[in-house]
Amino acid sequence: MRFMFVGDSCTIGRAGDYTWRYRMWQHLEAAMPGGHEIVGPRTELYDSGADAPLSHLYAAPDFPAEARRHLAGWGEGWLHMAPVIGGAVTETGADVLLVSLGLIDLGFYTDSDQTAENVRAFVAAARAANPHIRMVLMPVIPNVRAESDAPFAAQCDRFNELLAKAVADLDTAASPLLLLSRPATYDIHTDTYDGTHPGPTGEHKIAEAFATAMHQAWGVGAAYAAAPH
């Protein structure tokens, strides 16, 4: 089964991060040994000094190059991924998309209704490339900005409602969509390093949310067991 991570800065990570992708890879190695592959057109981390995705300095030396593949970008959202997802699915033969997008859209590019339209365009493009593709979608986790910016917080809530509606509308037996619940104990003050981007505990909680949902809904993998680091 070929998995592709699709996301924004919280998924690509920056130089020196483990990333939740690494935590998910560890889980898949334990739960599906020999039965999974990580695919994607990119492998880099974001380099804040260069302001570009140029780094390969992952915190985990045991994270193999082939498992670092992804389709994620610092400052990229549904707006950016909808036009490229079809080509990425065709190129990689992805079977399952693990998607965490939306916060950057709402913060800088599009309102909740426009962002939801881009979700629908993304799903259509992915299915045009692979009619049997599965997608697991993470709702927006409001960041520290939402605590002081009420209109932004409202847009996050509104988008999550529209995302749930899109999943309900678009889910099919041939190409199932799975909407995650926000990790119940996720706290932006302790599970992130800046109020937005996940630190080690946040990485585990995001990976666990994806792993648990796939195992419970589809029988894929197993229950999540966090690795020692």
Record the tokens describing residue 125, joined without a space: 């493009």
User: Looking at domain 2-218, which of 1.10.3720.10, 3.90.1150.10, 3.40.50.1110, 3.40.1440.60 is its CATH number?
Assistant: 3.40.50.1110
- Band (pLDDT 50/70/90 cuts) for residue 51 is very high
Mean pLDDT score of the chain: 96
How sure is the predictor about 113, in pLDDT bands with cuts at 50, 70 and 90? very high
Residue 215 pLDDT > 70: yes
In this structure, is the dihedral angle defined by the CA atoms of residues 96, 102, 103 and 105, taken in order, positive or negative?
Answer: positive
Give the global pTM: 0.96
pLDDT of residue 151: 96
Q: Does 21 have pLDDT greater than 60?
A: yes
Query: Which range is least confidently modeled, 146-150, 165-169, 225-229?
Result: 225-229
Can you point out the beta strands (E) in the chain? 2-7, 37-38, 45-47, 52-55, 71-72, 96-100, 134-138, 177-179
Give bridge partners of residue 7 from the DSSP assignment: 72, 100
Q: pLDDT class for 225, splitting at 50, 70, 90?
A: confident
How much is the pLDDT for 177? 98
